Structure 1
Amino acid sequence: MTTNIHTTFDKIYDRRKKEEFLNQRSKVIWFTGLSGSGKTTLASGLERLLFKKGHFCQVLDGDNIRSGINNNLTFTEDDRRENIRRIAEVCKLYLNSGVITLCAFISPTNEIRDMAREIIGEEDFLEIHVNTPIEICEERDVKGLYAKARQGKIPNFTGISSPFEAPISPFYRIDTSKQEAEKAVEMLFEKVGEEISW
């Protein structure tokens, strides 16, 4: 890190004041799971419900991030790590702004999620494992990504040619094949409600 960087965090309103203004506690709700498991569906559904209840949120989704801020990264192990590192740093900025951030990223290994947790902070990182079976994920795959991966057309595809490590002790574990999306979102809201309310 260069010695010519001088942060201004001590000169701006702190997180507590922004949380008081928004009447909520900012947290990072981190959805992890296979492609097609329901991460984005749950994150966007929870955002709508939280917003309806008066909470201010921001959803960060894998495809959206990779089409913008991280469009220079590939899917190699090093680039996946850098992808998550940058996202975690963005989450930290949102956290300090009092915003509830909903992240939907495969983030396939415990090591890579632990890095995000360390950047964001253990007490503010709510890990949600979307534990939907790979067979269901493949059935839902309207883009045909799993089929292409099985044909060798997509390298380093999580669950096929690249491993996914299930979280050891997530904040919450949910299988979206066992209930409708609306019910799953309600279950999530009940789980995170105490974490984000004063």
Structure 2
Amino acid sequence: MATNITWHPSLSRNERNTYRKQRGFTIWFTGLSASGKSTIATALEQHLLHLGLAAYRLDGDNVRFGLNKDLGFSETDRNENIRRIAEVAKLFADSSTIAITSFISPYRADRNTARELHAAPSAVHPDDEPLAFIEVFVDIPLEVAEQRDPKGLYKKAREGKIPEFTGISAPYEEPENPEIKIRSDQRSVEEAVKEIVDYLDAKGLLKLNSADGRGLEY
């Protein structure tokens, strides 16, 4: 644990939101490998950018090959992987950017920790509104995921070539109360994106009222 550190005063979250004309929050995709998480997350990021909103997607390609390249796939390493991702997502959200994460994140406790991190009050600006955390469970039957298996990972896991593979030799704990649940084998990518955007709009997360009361809508 770091010691002798002091939080330096900075802009409040509300000030950043006003200057950037949008709210920051995190959309947390979870689900089995080959469930379609990354496909939907990529399409969502593109759609939000087309709306003129700042959004950024975190997934295995830009995290596992960089920030978390020192981690394996043991339960301990998976926990640390998600902890780091949650902290980075919170930083993006705090900067008034929409953070989109796409990871299996198999353990319920780790996802709950990520949610609690976003809800925690600021040490310097306790009046700042909490950061919204939207859990999107991309649900799919295991047999359908195995049929898709674009990278051949399930086949290798069944053959014992990949130890601790989620859904085969390691557990996946389904979310109990996700904000959004999508059966990706029953809905198109476009339908999934629309459902998420409709939810965000209904919650007022895609619009921001300025100090003079004028609505800034996208």
Worse-superposed segment, 131-140 or 25-34: 131-140
The answer to whether residue 67 in structure 2 is matched with residue 69 in structure 1 is yes
Q: Partner residue of 2:123?
A: none
After TM superposition, give the deviation of residue 112 of structure 1 in Å.
1.2
Give the alignment's TM-score, normalised by structure 2.
0.85
Give the alignment's TM-score, normalised by structure 1.
0.94
Q: Whose relative contact order is higher, 1 or 2, with alpha carbons under 8 Å and at least 6 apart?
A: 1
Q: Partner residue of 2:143?
A: 135
Instruction: Describe the superposition over 1:132-163 as per-residue Cα deviations: whole angstroms up to 9, x where unpaired.
Output: 12222122222100000011100111000011
Q: For residues 82 and 40 of structure 1, what CA distance do their matches in structure 2 show?
A: 21
Q: Partner residue of 2:199?
A: 191
Q: For residues 64 and 35 of structure 1, what CA distance do their matches in structure 2 show?
A: 17
Paired letter, 2:180: Y
Q: Partner residue of 1:165?
A: 173
Equivalent pair of 1:129/1:172 in contact (CA under 8 Å): yes
Identity between Structure 1 and Structure 2 (%): 45
Q: Any unmatched runs of 5+ in structure 1?
A: none
Once superposed, what is the RMSD of the aligned Cα atoms?
Answer: 1.4
After TM superposition, give the deviation of residue 39 of structure 1 in Å.
0.8
Paired letter, 1:66: R
Q: For residues 61 and 141 of structure 2, what CA distance do their matches in structure 1 show?
A: 21
Within 5 Å, give how 1:29-178 maps onto structure 2.
29-121=27-119, 124-178=132-186
Instruction: Describe the superposition over 1:162-183 as per-residue Cα deviations: whole angstroms up to 9, x where unpaired.
Output: 1111100001100111121112
Instruction: Describe the superposition over 1:24-75 as per-residue Cα deviations: whole angstroms up to 9, x where unpaired.
Output: 2111000000001111111111111111111110100123211110000011
Q: For residues 118 and 137 of structure 1, what CA distance do their matches in structure 2 show?
A: 30
Q: For residues 170 and 61 of structure 2, what CA distance do their matches in structure 1 show?
A: 18
Equivalent pair of 1:27/1:196 in contact (CA under 8 Å): no
After TM superposition, give the deviation of residue 14 of structure 1 in Å.
2.0
Q: Partner residue of 1:16?
A: 14
